[in-house]
C-alpha cells in the first residue's frame, strides 16, 4: 500500500454514509434513478436564494482590481465586520471583525479551531450520536474524541457530561441543530452545561472550551428558537457555515466566531489565522467572502424542508416507528424496529430505500434519514417503510 498505515486503516473503516451512498449509485444504475429512494447524503436540494445570484452577477459585472489576490489570512475586513455586526445584534455582545475568521465551511472552521487549541493527548468531548467526521478532525490535531451518550430523546445527559469532563478535557463540542438527530438543545440544558464547564475549569485549573458547530443554525422549525450559545459561557467559539443556509456547500464558505468575552481572544484569532495558512487553506475563497458579507440577512426558504419533515415524520409515526420529532436540520433518526440496525437498513435497501445505520453515528438500533431530497422521493418510499414496519411488527 502506498498510503500511510493510519490512513489505510481509516479508509478501510470508510463511513457508513459513503458506503450507502455508493450502494445507492449502484442501484440507480441498475434500476434507474426514479426507482431508488436515496436518503444517505446531507446534500441540500434547494437552489441558492435569488439574492445570491444577484450578488454574484453584480460582482462579476463590476470586478474591482485585485479582487482575486491573496489577502490577510482571516479574510476581508468588511465581510468580517458585517458578520460581527450581525452577531452583535443577535447576542448584544460587542463582536468586532477581530473575532471573526472566515473559513472554508464549518469543516475548515472546526479544523483551524481544533488545531489552534489542542495539544497531543487532549480530549474533546462530544454528545453521541454525533457527526462522524469529528473523530477525524480531532485526530488530525493530536486529540482524542470522547463520546458521551445523550438521553433517549437525544437531549444532553448533563450528569454524564459532568462525569466525563476530566483533567485531559480541552473542549466540549456540541452541534445544535444536530446531525444526525435534528434535535436543538434547550437554553436550560446549555446554561447548565455552561455551569459545569465553569466549575470544571476551576477544578482543573485550566480553561475548557465550548465549541459550537452551528452548521444548521438557520434551519430550525416551528416556534423553536436556537439558544444563543455565547450567553451561556464566555470561553465559547461558534463555527458557522453557509453550506446549508445559502445552499452552497460546494463553494466552501463559513466562519469562526470567538466570543468577545473569551480570555485570550486575540491570541486565539492569531492562532486560527496561522492555522488557516499552515493547514493549506491560506484563506477562505475570496469571491464567496464578497458575496456572503452582503447576504448576512438572507437564507433559503426553509418551509420546504419543514414540509418534508412533517410529511416524513407523520408517515413514519403512523406506520409505528418510534421517532423523536426533529426541531431543525434535515435529518430524521428513527429507532429501527429491530435491534440490528445494519440488518434493517439492508432490508430497506432490498426495497431500493437507502438510509444510514445509526451505528455509523455511534447509536446502534437507529437509522439516519436525510430528507433534503425532492418530495416525490419521500412519497414514493413510504410504501416500503410501511411494508417493513408491518413485517417487523411495529
Ligand atoms: C454537523 C456538521 N458539521 C459540519 C459539517 C461540514 O459542513 P461544511 O460544508 O460547512 O464544511 C456538516 C456537513 O454536513 C455537518 O453536518
What ligand 1 atom has the least distance to the C-alpha of 105?
Answer: 10
State if residue 247 touches ligand 1 by the CB under 6 angstroms criterion: no
Mean pLDDT score, 9-26 = 81
Work out the pLDDT band at 302, boundaries 50, 70, 90.
Answer: very high
| Ligand 1 center to 191 CA (angstroms) | 24
User: Residue 15: pLDDT band by 50, 70, 90 thresholds?
Assistant: confident
CA of 127 to the centre of ligand 1 (A): 16
How many Cβ atoms from other residues are within 10 Å of residue 106's Cβ?
Answer: 30
pLDDT for the residue numbered 349: 95
Asked whether 48 lines ligand 1 (CB < 6 A), one says no
Distance from residue 135's CA to the centre of ligand 1 (Å): 13
d(CA 30, CA 110): 38
Q: State residue 229's pLDDT score.
A: 98
In this predicted structure, what is the pLDDT of residue 271?
Answer: 98
* Residue 14 pLDDT exceeds 80: no
When pLDDT is cut at 50, 70 and 90, the band that residue 123 belongs to is very high
Q: Residue 369: what pLDDT?
A: 98
- Between the CA of 213 and the centroid of ligand 1 the distance, in Å, is 8
- Asked if residue 243 has its Cβ within 6 Å of ligand 1, the reply is yes
Share of the chain above pLDDT 90, in %: 90
Q: Which atom of ligand 1 is found nearest the CA of 241?
A: 10
Query: 161 pLDDT exceeds 90?
Result: yes
Atom of ligand 1 nearest to the CA of 213: 3
- What is the Cα–Cα distance from 239 to 176, expressed in whole angstroms? 11
Q: In sequence order, what E strands does the chain have?
A: 37-38, 100-103, 123-128, 144-149, 169-175, 209-213, 236-241, 254-258, 331-332, 353-354, 356-357, 367-370
Residue of higher predicted confidence among 82 and 25: 82
Give the mean model confidence (pLDDT) for residues 238-248.
98
pLDDT at 59 over 80: yes
- What does the mean pLDDT of the chain come to? 96
pLDDT at position 1 over 80? no
pTM of the model: 0.96
Q: Which residues, 6 or more positions from 194, have their beta carbon under 8 angstroms from its beta carbon?
A: 210, 232, 233
Residue-level pLDDT at 55: 97
Choose the residue to mutate in 145, 215, 284, 360 for probing ligand 1, maximizing ligand atoms within 8 Å of C-beta.
Answer: 215
Distance 231 CA to ligand 1 centre (A): 23
Question: If you measure from the C-alpha of residue 30 to the centroid of ligand 1, how many angstroms do you get, rounded to a whole number?
Answer: 31
**Which tens digits make up the pLDDT trace of 125-148?**
999 999 999 999 999 999 999 999
> Buried b vs exposed e over 173-182: b needs ≥16 C-beta within 10 Å?
bbbbbbbbbb
Residue 97: how many other CB atoms lie within 10 Å: 19
**What pLDDT does residue 238 have?**
98
Q: Which of 23-32, 63-72, 135-144 has the lowest mean pLDDT?
A: 23-32
Q: What is the pLDDT of residue 25?
A: 86
Model confidence band, residue 9 (pLDDT cutoffs 50, 70, 90): confident
Residue to mutate, 40, 103, 105, ligand 1, most ligand atoms under 8 Å from C-beta: 105
* pLDDT tens-place string over residues 250-292: 999 999 999 999 999 999 999 999 999 999 999 999 999 999 9
Q: Which of 48, 179, 250, 356 has the most ligand 1 atoms within 8 A of CB, as the residue to mutate? A: 179
pLDDT on residue 232: 98
Give the per-residue pLDDT at 83.
98
Q: What was the pLDDT predicted at 394?
A: 79
Question: What element of type H or E holds 32?
Answer: none
Q: Give me ligand 1 centre to Cα 178, in Å.
A: 10
157 CB less than 6 Å from ligand 1? no
288 C-beta closer than 6 A to ligand 1: no
Helix (H) or strand (E) holding 265, with range, is helix 265-278
- Least confident segment among 19-23, 31-35, 145-149, 243-247: 19-23
Question: Using one digit for the tens of pLDDT, what is the confidence trace for 184-234?
Answer: 999 999 999 999 999 999 999 999 999 999 999 999 999 899 999 999 999
pLDDT of res. 10: 84
Q: What is the mean pLDDT of residues 32-49?
A: 93
φ, ψ dihedrals at 376, nearest 5°: -65, -30
178 lines ligand 1 (CB under 6 A): no
* Nearest atom, ligand 1, residue 107 CA: 11
Amino acid at each position: 500500500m502506498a498510503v500511510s498505515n493510519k490512513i489505510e486503516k481509516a479508509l478501510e473503516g470508510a463511513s457508513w454514509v459513503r458506503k450507502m451512498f455508493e450502494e445507492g449509485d449502484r442501484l440507480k444504475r441498475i434500476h434507474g434513478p426514479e426507482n431508488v429512494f436515496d436518503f444517505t447524503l446531507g446534500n441540500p436540494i434547494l437552489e441558492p436564494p435569488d439574492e445570491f445570484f444577484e450578488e454574484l452577477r453584480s460582482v462579476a459585472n463590476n470586478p474591482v482590481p485585485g479582487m482575486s489576490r491573496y489577502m490577510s489570512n482571516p479574510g476581508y475586513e468588511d465581510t468580517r465586520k458585517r458578520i460581527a455586526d450581525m452577531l452583535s445584534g443577535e447576542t448584544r455582545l460587542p463582536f468586532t471583525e477581530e473575532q471573526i475568521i472566515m473559513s472554508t465551511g464549518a469543516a475548515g472552521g472546526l479544523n483551524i479551531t481544533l488545531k489552534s487549541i489542542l495539544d497531543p493527548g487532549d480530549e474533546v468531548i462530544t454528545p453521541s450520536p454525533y457527526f462522524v467526521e469529528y473523530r477525524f478532525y480531532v485526530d488530525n490535531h493530536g486529540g482524542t474524541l470522547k463520546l458521551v451518550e445523550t438521553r433517549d430523546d437525544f437531549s444532553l445527559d448533563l450528569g454524564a457530561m459532568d462525569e466525563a469532563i476530566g483533567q485531559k478535557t480541552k473542549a466540549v463540542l456540541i452541534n445544535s441543530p444536530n446531525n444526525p438527530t435534528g434535535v436543538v438543545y434547550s437554553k436550560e440544558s446549555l446554561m447548565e452545561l455552561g455551569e459545569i464547564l465553569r466549575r470544571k475549569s476551576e477544578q482543573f485549573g485550566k480553561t475548557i472550551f465550548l465549541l459550537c458547530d452551528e452548521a444548521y443554525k438557520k434551519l430550525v422549525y416551528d416556534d423553536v428558537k436556537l439558544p444563543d450559545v455565547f450567553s451561556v459561557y464566555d470561553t465559547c467559539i461558534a463555527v458557522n457555515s453557509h453550506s446549508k443556509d445559502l445552499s452552497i456547500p460546494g463553494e466552501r464558505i463559513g466562519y469562526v466566531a470567538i466570543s468577545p468575552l473569551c480570555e485570550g481572544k486575540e491570541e486565539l484569532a492569531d492562532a486560527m489565522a496561522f492555522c488557516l495558512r499552515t493547514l493549506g487553506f491560506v484563506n477562505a475563497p475570496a469571491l464567496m467572502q464578497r458575496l456572503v458579507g452582503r447576504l448576512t440577512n438572507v437564507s433559503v426558504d426553509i418551509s420546504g424542508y419543514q414540509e418534508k419533515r412533517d410529511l416524513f415524520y407523520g408517515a413514519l409515526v403512523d406506520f409505528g416507528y418510534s421517532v423523536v420529532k426533529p426541531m431543525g436540520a434535515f435529518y430524521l433518526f428513527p429507532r429501527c424496529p429491530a435491534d440490528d440496525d445494519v440488518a434493517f437498513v439492508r432490508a430497506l435497501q432490498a426495497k431500493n430505500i437507502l438510509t444510514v445505520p445509526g451505528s455509523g453515528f455511534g447509536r446502534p438500533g437507529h437509522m439516519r434519514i436525510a430528507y433534503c431530497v425532492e418530495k416525490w422521493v419521500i412519497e414514493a418510499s413510504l410504501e416500503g417503510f410501511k411494508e417493513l414496519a408491518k413485517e417487523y411488527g411495529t
